[in-house]
Amino acid sequence: MIRIALQAKGRLNEDSLKLMKEAGINFDDAKRKLLSKSNDFPIEVLYLRDDDIPQAVAAGVADIGFVGINEIEEKGADVKVIHKLGWGKCRISLAIPKTEEYSGIEYFNGKRIATSYPKILKKFCDENNIVAEVEEIAGSVEIAPAVGMADAIFDIVSSGSTLVSNGLKEVYTVMNSEAAVIANPNLTDEKQALLDQLLFRFESVERSKGQKYILLNIPNDNINDALSILPSMKSPTLLPLAQPGWSSIHAVVSQKLIWDKIEQLKKIGAEDILVLSLEMMVL
Ligand code: ATP
Ligand code: MG
C-alpha cells in the first residue's frame, strides 16, 4: 500500500484527479472523505492543502504527492522530485507599480516587498546582494502596494492579468514552476515498486497527449508516398483491404500536424480518413 497526498481543492486538484483516473485509479473525491482508499490499486489518497503536501511527504505521513515546485522550494522540505507533470505551470515574479521606472534588480534595494514566498525571496535577495524588507502575507498580495503595505510584490503569475488589474507590472521572473510528483526519500522496496508502476502509467498517459490515431485507405501504388508522410512509433501498420489494389494504413500523428498530414494524404489519393483520440501509449 502506498499513500499519495493530493490538493483537496484549488488549482491542482482537477488535474491531479484527472491523471489518477486516466491511470486507471478511482477513489472518492475530497467532498466525501479526506482519506480514501482505491479499489483498483493498492493506494490511499490523502487530501491536504497544497502548502502542507511537501511536509507531509517529508515526514512520511504520505509516501508521495503531487504539488507545485514553488511549494517544495518554499517549504525546503526533504523530498525527492521524481517527475515533472507539465501542468500547474506558473512563475514567481517581482512586480512593481506600473508608473515606476525599473532600472534592473538593484531597484529592489531598500524596498519593502510583500509575498507569500518569503524563503524563495530571501534566497534570491541574498544571492543578488539585494537588501530589501520582506513583508510576509498569506493572500491578496497584489493589493499591498496600492494600500501602502509594500513598494513591490513577489507573487505567482500565470497570465499576468491580475497584476495589470492591480496597476502592477512584472519586471523579473525568479522561478518557473509546475506540478511534480514528489516522494519521501526513504521509501520501502514495496512502496518504491508501487511508485514505479504509477510512473509507468503516468508516462504512458502523458505520451499520448497531443497525439491522434489516424486510419486511411490508399491505392497500393501510393503506399510509399503515404508512408513517407506518416511518422510512427515503429513503422505504420499496413493492412490489405478486401477491395483489390487498396490498403489501409494506421499511424500515430501529432495533433498539431494532423490537418497538414490530411491535406498531403488527400493529394496522393487517400480516402476514408478517420482520426481517433489516443488514451495512452505504452512503449
Ligand atoms: P490551498 O487551499 O490548497 O492552500 P492555494 O490557494 O494555496 O490552495 P492554489 O491557488 O490552488 O493554492 O494554487 C496551487 C498551486 O497551483 C500553486 O502553488 C502553483 O504551484 C499552481 N498555480 C498554477 N497557476 C497558478 C496561478 N495562476 N495562481 C496561483 N497558483 C497557480
Ligand atoms: Mg496553499
Summarised one tens digit per residue, pLDDT across range 2-33 is 999 999 999 999 999 999 999 999 999 878 78
Pocket test for ligand 1, best of 69, 85, 89, 90 (most atoms within 8 A of CB): 90
User: In this structure, are 236 and 203 located in the same domain?
Assistant: no
Residue ID of nearest Cα to ligand 1 atom 6: 10
> For ligand 2, a single-atom ion, which residues have Cβ within 5 Å?
50-51
Instruction: Tell me, using a 6 A CB cutoff, whether residue 7 lines ligand 1.
Output: yes
> Between vectors from CA 131 to CA 69 and to CA 107, what angle results, nearest 5°?
85
Instruction: Tell me, using a 6 A CB cutoff, whether residue 50 lines ligand 1.
Output: yes
How far, in Å, is the centroid of ligand 2 from the Cα of 51? 4
Q: Return the ligand 1 atom nearest residue 71 CA.
A: 18
Residue 118 near residue 134 (C-beta atoms within 8 A): yes
131 phi-psi bin (left φ>0, alpha ψ -120 to 50, beta other) = beta
Phi, psi angles (nearest 5°) of residue 234: -115, -80
CA distance 84 to 72: 13
Range of the domain at 188: 2-89+178-207
Number of domains composing the chain: 3
Q: Write out pLDDT tens, residues 231-282.
A: 766 778 999 999 999 999 999 999 999 999 999 999 999 999 999 999 999 9
User: In this structure, are 31 and 62 located in the same domain?
Assistant: yes
Q: What is the pTM of this model?
A: 0.90
Tell me the pairing of strands 2-7 and 43-48. parallel
Does 282 reside within a domain?
A: no
Q: Write out pLDDT tens, residues 130-172.
A: 999 999 999 999 999 999 999 999 999 988 899 999 999 999 9
| Predicted local distance difference test score (pLDDT) of residue 123 | 98
Place of cell 490508399: 218
Mean predicted confidence (pLDDT) in 210-228: 95
Q: Which of 169, 191, 207 corresponds to the end of one domain?
A: 207
Instruction: Tell me, using a 6 A CB cutoff, whether residue 70 lines ligand 1.
Output: yes
User: In this structure, are 76 and 189 located in the same domain?
Assistant: yes
